[in-house]
Structure formats: structure tokens, C-alpha cells
């Protein structure tokens, strides 16, 4: 019995394959539309795409063109060809602005850009484009059922940009004992805090900005020491003003005391 069922399955599969090849190689575009639709509905997107590629040019201007283009652009998304899906989906939105599928395709087109965003350590040009595309979708469809999902994706991409910018600034502070550039670190953290004022890295950025100024002060040449100590103390006060119970409290108190001692010694010397 099991062998019989197995034979039936193999026979059915072979027949289905031969039917697919027959239609694919044939000239009947209606048969291809029907087969492609069946494959699409069955979740066989790669095969469906192969069929649709052949008939898309021949259905332009026909009543079935909108349905065909909807399925066609979705096959690219479902097979993770995001470079093509974002292009085809934008074409669909432009061609059929009143379609009942326009929100779905508009969202998936924007999400295609999201899926092309690389890890935070790499260049983030694609991430910036994805944010712009998702924000454009949100602006055009403020009441869309996809609104919450789109907003979540924007927040995720924003976090990636924040992490990239924060780590870039941090590198000036921590990279190698002979290559630390504390002035550049301070400038980079300043830029980060202006660009991402509500960042989850804000406390860390303010601490390492102070830390950079502190290290610059304690390793300073004599004639710049007083000015650098004052600047470091200003950043110390800013950190505690914003984060009075900072997680870095033990470190900053010790650093503050050392800066105070240097400042007192400088004052005594001048006197």
C-alpha cells in the first residue's frame, strides 16, 4: 500500500513538472496566466516568477494586468530579490494608485529597502534610503494597517544609525594607546548628541565625552592644563545634571576628584 501511494505521488509530481514545462515553453499566454496564478497561490514563487516574466509585457493595458503585476512584484519579494522587488513595487504604486493593494505593495516596497540595510558596522547609505522610503509611506498612509509595523522598522533603522555614530565617536577615545584623539572624540560625541538627542546611548556618549576631556586634561602640557581641566569639569557637571544617578557614578567621582586636585594645585602655583 505504501509503495502504491509513493508511486502515485511520484507520478503526480512528474505529471505536474511536465505540465509546467509544457505551459512554460508554449505560446498560450492565458494558460501561463492561469498556471502562474496557481503557482503563486500555492506559494511556489520562484516558478510563478518564471512564468510571469514571459507574459508581463503581453498583458500591458489588459484588464488582468493589475492582478498580474501585483503577483509579479510579490514574487520578487517572496524570493528575497529585494533589489528588484522595491523597483517593481514602486512601479505598481505609480501605475495603480487607486488599487486596493496599493498600501500593501507600498509597504512591502519600502520594507524591501529595509531588508537591504546592512549591519551597523558597514556603510549605512541603504539604511538612510530605507528610512526615507518608510517615512514616505507613513506620510502617505497615516491610517494604514501597516503603520505600526512601518514605525517599528523606522525605529530599528534609527537605532542602527545611532549605534554606528556612537561607535564611530567611541573609536577616537579607545583605539590604541598611541592613536587616541580626544579632541576628535569630544567633537564626535558633540555631533552625536546634537543629531540623536533622545538616543539610548546618550548617557554613554556624555560619559565618554567627559572621559575624553578628562584624559586630555590629565595628560596635558602645562600651559593648556587649566583650560582643559575647566572644560572637563563642565562636561562632568553636564553629565550629572542630565543623569544625576549615572551608572558611571563611581568612575566620574574619582575622575572629578583628580581634576579638582589638579585645579587646586594650579591655583596654588599661580598664587
Can you tell me which residue has the cell 564611530? 168
Q: What is the DSSP string of 186-244?
A: HHHHHHHHHH-TT-TTHHHHHHHHHHHHHHHHHT--HHHHHHHHHHHHHHHHHHHHH-T
The torsion region of residue 61 among left (phi > 0), alpha (psi -120 to 50) and beta comes to: left
The CA-to-CA distance between both ends of the chain, in Å, stands at 106
Per-residue pLDDT of the chain (271 residues; tens, 9 = 90+): 444 444 444 334 434 567 888 888 888 999 999 999 999 999 999 999 999 999 999 998 899 999 999 999 999 999 999 999 999 999 999 999 999 999 999 999 999 999 999 999 999 999 999 999 999 999 999 999 999 999 999 999 999 999 999 999 999 998 755 556 899 999 999 999 999 999 999 999 999 999 999 999 998 888 888 999 999 999 999 999 999 999 999 999 999 999 999 888 866 655 5
Predicted local confidence at residue 7, as pLDDT: 43
The CB density around residue 18, as the number of other CB atoms within 10 Å, is 10
Contacts of residue 182, defined as CB under 8 A and 6 or more positions apart, other chains included, come to 172, 173, 212, 213, 215, 216
Task: Give CA–CA dist 40/51, Å, rounded.
Answer: 10
Task: Give CA–CA dist 254/260, Å, rounded.
Answer: 10
Q: What is the DSSP string of 99-119?
A: -TTHHHHHHHHHHHHHHT---
Number of H helices, E strands in the chain: 12, 0
Question: Is the CB of residue 246 less than 8 Å from the CB of residue 207?
Answer: yes
Task: Give CA–CA dist 205/133, Å, rounded.
Answer: 29
Contacts of residue 110, defined as CB under 8 A and 6 or more positions apart, other chains included, come to 86, 130, 133, 134, 136, 137, 150
* Closest by CA position to 63, among listed 106, 33, 24: 33
Calculate the alpha carbon distances from 108 to 30, 114, 203, 246 in Å.
28, 9, 35, 41
Task: Give CA–CA dist 68/39, Å, rounded.
Answer: 13
Length of the chain: 271
Predicted local confidence at residue 17, as pLDDT: 62
Predicted local confidence at residue 179, as pLDDT: 57
Any idea where the domains of the chain sit in the sequence?
Answer: 181-271
Task: Give CA–CA dist 56/144, Å, rounded.
Answer: 29
Predicted local confidence at residue 27, as pLDDT: 86
For residue 32, give the 3-state DSSP assignment. Answer: helix
Contacts of residue 252, defined as CB under 8 A and 6 or more positions apart, other chains included, come to 207, 210, 236, 239, 240, 246
Amino acid at each position: 500500500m505504501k509503495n502504491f501511494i509513493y508511486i502515485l505521488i511520484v507520478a503526480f509530481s512528474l505529471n505536474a513538472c511536465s505540465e509546467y514545462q509544457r505551459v512554460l515553453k508554449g505560446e498560450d499566454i492565458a494558460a501561463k496566466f492561469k498556471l502562474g496564478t496557481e503557482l503563486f497561490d500555492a506559494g511556489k514563487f520562484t516558478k510563478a516568477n518564471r512564468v510571469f516574466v514571459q507574459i508581463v509585457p503581453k498583458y500591458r493595458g489588459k484588464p488582468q494586468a493589475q492582478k498580474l503585476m501585483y503577483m509579479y512584484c510579490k514574487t520578487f519579494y517572496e524570493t528575497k530579490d529585494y533589489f528588484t522587488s522595491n523597483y517593481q513595487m514602486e512601479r505598481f504604486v505609480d501605475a495603480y494608485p487607486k488599487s486596493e493593494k496599493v498600501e500593501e505593495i507600498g509597504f512591502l516596497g519600502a520594507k524591501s529597502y529595509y531588508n537591504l540595510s546592512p549591519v551597523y558596522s558597514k556603510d549605512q547609505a541603504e539604511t538612510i534610503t530605507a528610512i526615507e522610503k518608510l517615512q514616505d509611506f507613513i506620510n502617505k498612509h497615516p491610517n494604514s494597517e501597516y503603520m505600526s509595523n512601518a514605525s517599528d522598522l523606522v525605529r530599528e533603522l534609527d537605532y542602527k544609525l545611532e549605534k554606528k555614530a556612537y561607535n564611530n565617536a567611541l573609536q577616537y577615545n579607545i583605539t590604541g594607546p598611541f592613536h587616541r584623539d580626544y579632541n576628535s572624540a569630544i567633537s564626535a560625541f558633540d555631533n552625536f548628541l546634537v543629531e540623536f538627542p533622545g538616543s539610548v546611548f546618550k548617557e554613554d556618549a556624555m560619559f565618554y565625552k567627559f572621559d575624553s576631556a578628562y584624559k586630555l586634561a590629565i595628560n596635558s602640557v602645562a600651559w593648556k592644563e587649566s583650560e582643559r581641566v575647566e572644560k572637563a569639569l563642565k562636561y562632568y557637571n553636564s553629565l550629572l545634571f542630565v543623569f544625576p544617578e549615572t551608572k558611571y557614578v563611581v568612575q566620574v567621582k574619582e575622575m572629578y576628584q583628580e581634576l579638582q586636585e589638579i585645579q587646586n594645585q594650579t591655583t596654588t602655583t599661580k598664587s
